[in-house]
Copies of this chain bind each other. A is one copy, B any other.
Amino acid sequence: MAIKDWLPAAVRAAATERRLTAGEALFRLGDKTAGLCEIVAGRVRLARVDRDGHEIVLHVAGPGDTIAEASLFSPQYHCDAIASTDAVVRIYPKRAVLSAFDRDPKAALAFSATLARQVMGLRTRIEQRNIRSARERVRNYLALNAGADGRTVTLTGTLKDVAAELGLTHEALYRTLAALERVGEIRRAKHMITVARPRRV
Protein backbone atom coordinates (compact mmCIF):
# COMPACT_ATOMS: atom_id res chain seq x y z
CA MET A 1 0.00 0.00 0.00
CA ALA A 2 2.00 2.93 -1.28
CA ILE A 3 1.63 6.37 0.22
CA LYS A 4 0.42 7.85 -3.02
CA ASP A 5 -2.59 5.56 -3.00
CA TRP A 6 -4.18 7.21 -0.04
CA LEU A 7 -2.49 10.48 0.77
CA PRO A 8 -4.02 13.47 -1.08
CA ALA A 9 -1.71 15.01 -3.64
CA ALA A 10 -1.87 18.36 -1.87
CA VAL A 11 -0.35 16.80 1.22
CA ARG A 12 2.26 14.93 -0.74
CA ALA A 13 3.34 18.20 -2.29
CA ALA A 14 4.00 19.59 1.18
CA ALA A 15 6.51 16.89 2.00
CA THR A 16 10.12 17.57 2.80
CA GLU A 17 12.96 15.20 2.22
CA ARG A 18 15.77 14.51 4.58
CA ARG A 19 19.02 12.64 4.23
CA LEU A 20 20.45 10.64 7.14
CA THR A 21 23.81 9.03 7.64
CA ALA A 22 24.05 5.69 9.39
CA GLY A 23 23.56 6.16 13.11
CA GLU A 24 21.94 9.54 12.81
CA ALA A 25 18.67 10.10 14.61
CA LEU A 26 15.57 11.06 12.66
CA PHE A 27 13.83 11.83 15.93
CA ARG A 28 14.17 11.00 19.58
CA LEU A 29 11.74 9.97 22.26
CA GLY A 30 10.07 13.07 23.62
CA ASP A 31 10.69 15.22 20.55
CA LYS A 32 7.76 17.16 19.23
CA THR A 33 6.14 15.13 16.47
CA ALA A 34 6.72 16.45 12.96
CA GLY A 35 4.52 14.19 10.92
CA LEU A 36 4.20 11.03 8.97
CA CYS A 37 7.43 9.62 7.65
CA GLU A 38 8.09 7.52 4.59
CA ILE A 39 11.36 5.67 4.06
CA VAL A 40 12.65 6.36 0.57
CA ALA A 41 15.95 4.50 0.83
CA GLY A 42 17.97 2.72 3.47
CA ARG A 43 16.82 1.35 6.79
CA VAL A 44 15.56 3.14 9.86
CA ARG A 45 14.94 1.41 13.15
CA LEU A 46 12.52 2.42 15.85
CA ALA A 47 13.88 1.69 19.28
CA ARG A 48 13.68 2.53 22.90
CA VAL A 49 16.49 2.64 25.39
CA ASP A 50 15.78 0.94 28.68
CA ARG A 51 17.14 1.80 32.11
CA ASP A 52 20.22 -0.29 31.50
CA GLY A 53 21.12 1.79 28.48
CA HIS A 54 20.25 -1.22 26.38
CA GLU A 55 18.49 -0.56 23.11
CA ILE A 56 15.21 -2.35 22.48
CA VAL A 57 14.35 -2.47 18.81
CA LEU A 58 10.65 -2.06 18.13
CA HIS A 59 10.69 -2.15 14.37
CA VAL A 60 12.96 -1.91 11.37
CA ALA A 61 11.54 -0.06 8.40
CA GLY A 62 12.80 -0.21 4.84
CA PRO A 63 12.06 1.54 1.54
CA GLY A 64 8.36 2.10 0.99
CA ASP A 65 7.47 1.64 4.66
CA THR A 66 5.91 4.41 6.63
CA ILE A 67 6.70 5.02 10.27
CA ALA A 68 5.30 7.25 12.95
CA GLU A 69 1.69 6.87 11.86
CA ALA A 70 0.72 7.04 15.51
CA SER A 71 2.68 10.23 15.95
CA LEU A 72 -0.10 12.01 14.08
CA PHE A 73 -2.18 11.59 17.19
CA SER A 74 0.44 12.34 19.76
CA PRO A 75 2.34 15.54 20.57
CA GLN A 76 5.58 13.69 21.24
CA TYR A 77 7.39 10.68 19.84
CA HIS A 78 7.28 7.61 22.00
CA CYS A 79 10.53 6.10 20.78
CA ASP A 80 13.72 6.89 18.89
CA ALA A 81 14.13 6.57 15.14
CA ILE A 82 17.72 5.91 14.12
CA ALA A 83 19.11 5.35 10.68
CA SER A 84 20.68 1.89 10.54
CA THR A 85 22.20 2.66 7.16
CA ASP A 86 22.52 5.85 5.21
CA ALA A 87 18.94 6.69 4.43
CA VAL A 88 16.57 9.09 2.77
CA VAL A 89 13.19 9.84 4.29
CA ARG A 90 10.25 11.96 3.29
CA ILE A 91 8.26 13.77 5.93
CA TYR A 92 4.62 14.72 5.50
CA PRO A 93 3.85 17.51 7.95
CA LYS A 94 1.39 16.48 10.61
CA ARG A 95 -0.74 19.57 10.26
CA ALA A 96 -1.19 19.12 6.53
CA VAL A 97 -2.11 15.48 6.92
CA LEU A 98 -4.56 16.02 9.73
CA SER A 99 -6.28 18.97 8.13
CA ALA A 100 -6.64 17.00 4.94
CA PHE A 101 -8.36 14.26 6.91
CA ASP A 102 -10.57 16.81 8.58
CA ARG A 103 -11.66 18.36 5.31
CA ASP A 104 -11.96 15.10 3.45
CA PRO A 105 -13.54 12.15 5.27
CA LYS A 106 -12.69 10.00 2.26
CA ALA A 107 -9.01 10.56 2.82
CA ALA A 108 -9.35 9.78 6.51
CA LEU A 109 -11.14 6.57 5.66
CA ALA A 110 -8.52 5.65 3.11
CA PHE A 111 -5.90 6.13 5.79
CA SER A 112 -7.88 3.91 8.14
CA ALA A 113 -8.15 1.32 5.43
CA THR A 114 -4.40 1.12 4.96
CA LEU A 115 -3.90 0.86 8.69
CA ALA A 116 -6.54 -1.85 8.96
CA ARG A 117 -4.80 -3.75 6.22
CA GLN A 118 -1.49 -3.39 7.99
CA VAL A 119 -3.03 -4.74 11.18
CA MET A 120 -4.28 -7.77 9.27
CA GLY A 121 -0.90 -8.44 7.75
CA LEU A 122 0.96 -8.02 11.00
CA ARG A 123 -1.39 -10.32 12.86
CA THR A 124 -0.87 -12.92 10.19
CA ARG A 125 2.87 -12.63 10.58
CA ILE A 126 2.65 -13.00 14.33
CA GLU A 127 0.57 -16.09 13.96
CA GLN A 128 3.14 -17.41 11.54
CA ARG A 129 5.83 -17.00 14.15
CA ASN A 130 3.93 -19.35 16.43
CA ILE A 131 4.85 -22.14 14.07
CA ARG A 132 8.01 -23.77 15.40
CA SER A 133 8.99 -26.06 12.60
CA ALA A 134 10.96 -24.47 9.80
CA ARG A 135 9.27 -26.74 7.30
CA GLU A 136 5.79 -25.83 8.44
CA ARG A 137 6.67 -22.19 8.52
CA VAL A 138 7.88 -22.35 4.95
CA ARG A 139 4.76 -24.24 3.89
CA ASN A 140 2.66 -21.59 5.58
CA TYR A 141 4.58 -18.86 3.80
CA LEU A 142 4.16 -20.51 0.45
CA ALA A 143 0.45 -21.09 0.97
CA LEU A 144 -0.04 -17.52 2.10
CA ASN A 145 1.95 -15.94 -0.71
CA ALA A 146 0.87 -18.13 -3.55
CA GLY A 147 -0.32 -16.31 -6.64
CA ALA A 148 -3.65 -16.65 -8.34
CA ASP A 149 -3.14 -20.32 -9.14
CA GLY A 150 -2.50 -21.09 -5.46
CA ARG A 151 0.70 -22.89 -6.34
CA THR A 152 3.26 -20.38 -7.51
CA VAL A 153 5.13 -17.92 -5.34
CA THR A 154 7.15 -15.18 -6.94
CA LEU A 155 10.06 -13.98 -4.86
CA THR A 156 10.39 -10.24 -4.71
CA GLY A 157 13.72 -10.02 -2.91
CA THR A 158 16.50 -12.43 -2.11
CA LEU A 159 16.06 -15.64 -0.18
CA LYS A 160 17.92 -13.99 2.64
CA ASP A 161 15.16 -11.41 2.86
CA VAL A 162 12.58 -14.15 2.92
CA ALA A 163 14.48 -15.86 5.70
CA ALA A 164 14.42 -12.66 7.72
CA GLU A 165 10.73 -12.25 7.14
CA LEU A 166 10.14 -15.81 8.24
CA GLY A 167 12.32 -15.41 11.28
CA LEU A 168 14.71 -18.13 10.19
CA THR A 169 18.42 -18.09 9.52
CA HIS A 170 19.17 -18.14 5.84
CA GLU A 171 20.89 -21.49 6.25
CA ALA A 172 17.78 -23.03 7.76
CA LEU A 173 15.70 -21.69 4.90
CA TYR A 174 18.07 -23.02 2.25
CA ARG A 175 18.10 -26.42 3.86
CA THR A 176 14.34 -26.53 4.23
CA LEU A 177 13.78 -25.52 0.62
CA ALA A 178 16.32 -28.10 -0.51
CA ALA A 179 14.58 -30.77 1.55
CA LEU A 180 11.15 -29.87 0.21
CA GLU A 181 12.50 -29.94 -3.32
CA ARG A 182 14.17 -33.30 -2.68
CA VAL A 183 10.90 -34.94 -1.70
CA GLY A 184 9.19 -33.31 -4.65
CA GLU A 185 6.93 -31.03 -2.66
CA ILE A 186 8.13 -27.92 -4.44
CA ARG A 187 9.97 -27.00 -7.58
CA ARG A 188 12.24 -24.02 -7.88
CA ALA A 189 13.15 -21.67 -10.65
CA LYS A 190 14.76 -18.29 -10.73
CA HIS A 191 12.82 -16.07 -8.35
CA MET A 192 9.97 -18.53 -8.31
CA ILE A 193 8.80 -21.45 -6.24
CA THR A 194 6.03 -23.79 -7.29
CA VAL A 195 4.20 -26.08 -4.92
CA ALA A 196 4.16 -29.39 -6.73
CA ARG A 197 1.16 -31.12 -5.27
CA PRO A 198 -1.74 -29.03 -4.12
CA ARG A 199 -4.80 -30.66 -2.57
CA ARG A 200 -2.67 -32.72 -0.23
CA VAL A 201 -2.27 -32.56 3.52
| Chain B residues near A57 (CB-CB < 8 A) | 127
CB under 8 Å from chain B, chain A span 8-53:
46, 48, 50-53
CA distance A46 to B123 in the complex (A): 10
CA distance A125 to B129 in the complex (A): 10
CB-nearest residue of chain B relative to A49?
A: B143
CB-nearest residue of chain B relative to A50?
A: B143
* Residue A122 interfacial (CB < 8 Å): yes
| Chain B residues near A116 (CB-CB < 8 A) | 69-70, 72-73, 115
Chain B proximity of A92: nearest CB distance (Å): 14
* Residue A63 interfacial (CB < 8 Å): no
* Residue A154 interfacial (CB < 8 Å): no
| Chain B residues near A118 (CB-CB < 8 A) | 115, 119
Given pairs A56-B140, A58-B124, A70-B113, 12 additional interface contacts (CB within 8 A): A51-B195, A52-B200, A56-B143, A57-B127, A70-B119, A102-B105, A105-B105, A108-B112, A111-B112, A119-B119, A122-B123, A122-B126
- Chain A interface residue count, Cβ-Cβ cutoff 8 angstroms: 52
Task: Indicate whether A201 sits within 8 Å of B54 (C-beta atoms), given known contacts A108-B112, A116-B70.
Answer: yes
CB-nearest residue of chain B relative to A98?
A: B109
CB under 8 Å from chain B, chain A span 164-186:
167
* Residue A135 interfacial (CB < 8 Å): no
A123 & B73 in contact (Cβ 8 Å cutoff): no
| Chain B residues near A78 (CB-CB < 8 A) | 120
A127 & B199 in contact (Cβ 8 Å cutoff): no
| Chain B residues near A101 (CB-CB < 8 A) | 105, 108-109, 112
Which of B72, B167, B198 lies in contact with A51, CB distance below 8 A? B198
| Chain B residues near A122 (CB-CB < 8 A) | 119, 122-123, 126
Can you list 18 contacts pairing A with B, beta carbon distance less than 8 Å?
A: A46-B123, A48-B144, A50-B150, A51-B150, A52-B200, A52-B201, A54-B143, A58-B127, A59-B124, A72-B113, A73-B112, A73-B116, A98-B109, A101-B105, A101-B108, A105-B105, A115-B118, A126-B129
